Amino acid sequence: MTVGKIWVFVEATDGGVSNTSLELLTKARDLAETVEGVSVAANDVAAAAGAHGATTVHQVDGTDGKLLGPAVAGAIAAAVEAGTGPDAVLIATSYDGRDVAGRLSVKLDAPVITNVVDVVDDGGTLAGVEPIFGGTTNVTTRFTSDKPDIFLVRPKSFAAEESGGAPAAVSGLSVPDLGATGAAVVTNRFVEEQTGPSLDDADIVVSGGRGLGESDKFEMVEQLAKALGAAPGASRAIVDAGWVPYSYQVGQTGKVVKPNVYIAAGISGATQHLVGMKGSKTIIAINKDPEAPIFSVADLGIVGDVHKVLPKLIEALQNR
Amino acid sequence: MNVVVCVKQIPDPADPGALDPETKTLVRSGKLILDESDSYGVEMALQLVDAAGGGEVTLVSMAPNDEQSGLRTALAMGAAKAVLVSDDALRGSDSLTTAKVLAKAIERTGQPDLVLTATESSDGYTGTVPEQIAELLSLPSVTFAKSIAVDGATASVQRQTEAGYDDVQVPLPAVVSVTAGVVEPRYPSFKGIMAAKSKPLDQVTVADLGLEAAQVGWAGAGQEIVDVSEAEAREAGTIVEDDGEGHQKVVDFLAELKVI
């Protein structure tokens, strides 16, 4: 074991526990003698967290109707100051996870290693592996201070595996006075309607990019996705252009997907995009530019016009 | 209402640069441009100041080599002035150090009502700086804003979530990070470009901000790179020209993969 104690920020979802949290707990078991969770819903996540290796989940109270970052970071920092904190904290690159990591980093005056896809033993200390340049190069970084290590880890970096552990014990972490930093209040939550599988869980993902030419052509991507029972996705270029909502975005910003099959239509394959999808098992690319970087990661590449290939492909699949 | 926008000047993403094998620092060559991610925050700030009927937009940036060209782009869009922190000691700065420098630079501008940032830069993409700035300034924050409306001393923000979005109310002053694509950044007019050349640009060093060189750059990063290696490459696939039957190759391949 590399370190004594790792804390994982365990995020609750509507249906239970975030998959990424379970991935982090699984990884933490390889690295630390003791794995514990920190959560704003400890009772809800204790069973799953325990089954993935956490012995205790520390409850952070007082976040009802609030954003989580300040309170969770405040509670962890207070524990560190009291000498009861962890050697390292693993946090998912999620909306709330980034808030927690940023706030915690300042409270501890300690750096964060971000975009981590692996945490490894480097001669008795932890080090984070981060892909750069579109995932062609891996950089391994370790902390040089004696503060707790803060790793912000990308989703789907590890496979979640149960340890067979009993439900985690629940204990409380005290939250210090947050002053003005805790003043943001959530007044309403909106859940966007979603039909078909989500980008996170889909076996097949079909994404469209700038090569579609104009926004109403994204319909072809949706039709192809429907014909395959797939989730539709998009490159940052067309999200920024306002063709589809941010929730469709696959890439460095946006979602990391690792489906069985990924189909990229009219996507050139900017670094930003490749990082989010090159872990897919099989990649099919359709693009008219034979030099497009997307072809360097494609198992099957069709050099052709998406406006010609996609309609025929949709028709052929519908006729099967 | 006075709004500060943190902007980054980055190498053109079409030319991503490389790591120096000796110093392991990102080698940047050529002119820097305004990070496209930041153009949304600049636009949002200009709209909010307009809606408030008064005040100004101030830019804050940290860049090597006295680089100003990206700032001039944002000034041409309509920002009133800028603070640029440029200092060799900043080379190798991590996100926490960057946030410390930007927080000091924001304080130098006075007391803004609102600080806007992008959710992350296009070249470093740590995504932690906005929240770090907020904590350093002891301010509340809302990250991943889809929209911002200010009414008196409160901002109403739609915050992107995994499932949809949250309506969040935050008292000002506050830090808000703006999601790319949520507003249409204006193109600088010719008049704007000409005016930008003479707008005030306050260029400062680390020492001017009251920080010590040992706290920033590589010296202050609290971390070290222990390995740089090639990532495992994917095996080359089959690339074929569409001869009118390209779609059939996709169908055959999907059938082979047993997903249809």
pLDDT of res. A183? 96
Buried b (16+ CB within 10 A) or exposed e, A129-164: bbbbbbbbebbbbbbeeebbbbbbbbbbbbebeeee
Of the candidates B19, B222, B231, the beta carbon closest to that of A143 is on B222
In this complex, is the C-beta atom of A242 within 8 Å of any C-beta atom belonging to chain B?
yes
Residue B200 distance to chain A (closest CA, Å): 30
> Does B225 contact A185 at a Cβ distance shorter than 8 Å?
no
CB pairs under 8 A between A and B: 279
- SS3 (DSSP) at B222: coil
Indicate the class that CATH gives domain A204-318.
alpha beta
Q: Is B214 on the interface with A (CB under 8 A)?
A: no
The two tokens of residue A40 are 């704003």
Query: Across the interface, do A180 and B171 touch by the CB < 8 Å criterion?
Result: yes
Cβ <8 Å between A284 and B253? yes
Give the DSSP letter string of A279-306.
TSSEEEEEES-TT-GGGGS-SEEEES-H
Q: What's the CA dihedral at B143, B145, B150, B153 to 10 degrees?
A: -10
**How far apart are alpha carbons B16 and B28 in whole angstroms?**
8
Number of domains in chain B: 1
Helices (H), ranges, B185-234: 190-196, 217-220
Q: How many CB atoms lie within 10 A of CB A122?
A: 16
CA B212/CA A191 separation, integer angstroms: 47
Is there a contact between A181 and B135 if contact means CB atoms under 8 Å apart? yes
Question: Identity (one letter) of the amino acid at A39?
Answer: S
Give yes or no for B246 touching A (CB within 8 A). Answer: yes
Which pLDDT value is given to residue B234? 82
- At B181 the pLDDT is 80
Query: Per the CB < 8 Å rule, is B139 touching A189?
Result: no
Q: Is residue B225 part of a domain?
A: no
Q: Domain for residue B136, yes or no? A: yes
Q: Which residue of A has its CA nearest to B163?
A: A191
Please say whether the beta carbons of A313 and B251 come within 8 A.
yes
Give the mutation candidate from A11, A100, A106, A305 for the B interface (greatest B CB count, under 10 A): A106
**Using a CB-CB distance cutoff of 8 angstroms, which residues of chain B are in contact with residue A260?**
257, 259
Residue A193's pLDDT is: 74
One digit per residue, pLDDT tens: chain A, 320 residues?
A: 889 999 999 999 887 899 999 999 999 999 999 999 999 999 999 999 999 999 999 999 999 999 999 999 999 999 999 999 999 999 999 999 999 999 999 999 999 999 999 999 998 899 999 988 777 889 999 999 889 999 999 998 999 999 999 999 999 999 999 999 999 999 999 987 777 788 988 999 999 999 999 999 999 999 999 999 999 999 988 988 889 888 899 988 788 899 999 999 999 998 889 989 998 999 999 999 999 999 999 999 999 999 999 999 999 999 98
Q: Which residues of B touch A301 (CB under 8 A)?
A: 237-240
From the CA atom positions of chain B, what is the Rg in Å?
21
Q: Is residue B89 part of a domain?
A: yes
User: In chain A, which residues have their Cβ closer than 8 Å to the Cβ of B170?
Assistant: 183-185
Strand segments (E) across chain A: 3-9, 12-13, 16-17, 32-39, 56-60, 88-92, 112-116, 118-122, 125-132, 137-143, 149-153, 169-173, 185-191, 204-208, 231-234, 261-265, 282-287, 300-303
| Residues A24 and A3: beta-carbon distance below 8 Å | no
pLDDT of residue B15: 67
How many other β-carbons are positioned within 10 Å of the β-carbon of residue A211?
Answer: 23
Within-domain flag for B244: no
Q: Give me the domain span that covers residue B155.
A: 3-220
Q: Please identify among residues 119-158 of chain B the ones whose CB lies closer than 8 Å to any CB of chain A.
A: 119-120, 122, 125-132, 134-136, 138-144, 146
> Any CB–CB contact under 8 A between B179 and chain A?
yes
pTM of the model: 0.90
The whole-angstrom separation of Cα A93 and Cα A116 is 9
**Nearest residue on chain B to A315, alpha-carbon basis:** B247
Q: Report CB contact under 8 Å: B168, A236.
A: no
The domain locations on chain A are 3-182, 204-318
Do the two domains A3-182 and A204-318 of this chain adopt the same fold?
yes
Task: Give the pLDDT of residue B182.
Answer: 84
B-chain residue closest to A15, CA distance: B163
Of A102, A185, A302, nearest to B249 by CB-CB distance is: A302
What ipTM, to 2 d.p.?
0.91
The verdict on A98 touching B (C-beta cutoff 8 Å) is yes
**pLDDT for the residue numbered B122:** 81
Ranges assigned E (strand) in A225-293 = 231-234, 261-265, 282-287
* Partners of residue B137 in chain A, C-beta under 8 Å: none
Residue stretches of chain B with pLDDT short of 50? none
CATH topology of domain A3-182: Rossmann fold (3.40.50)
Cross-chain residue pair A312–B247, CB shorter than 8 Å: yes
Tokens 């300042």, located at residue: A106
Across the interface, of B223, B240, B260, the residue whose CB is closest to A302 is B240
List the CATH number of the domain containing B43. 3.40.50.620
pLDDT for B16: 59
Residue partners of A15: CB distance under 8 A and separation at least 6: none
Q: What share of chain A is helix, strand, coil (3-state, %, to 5)?
A: 35, 30, 35
Residues of B in contact with A124 (CB under 8 A): none
**Whole-number Å distance between alpha carbons of B227 and B244:** 47
Residue of B nearest to A281 (CA): B234
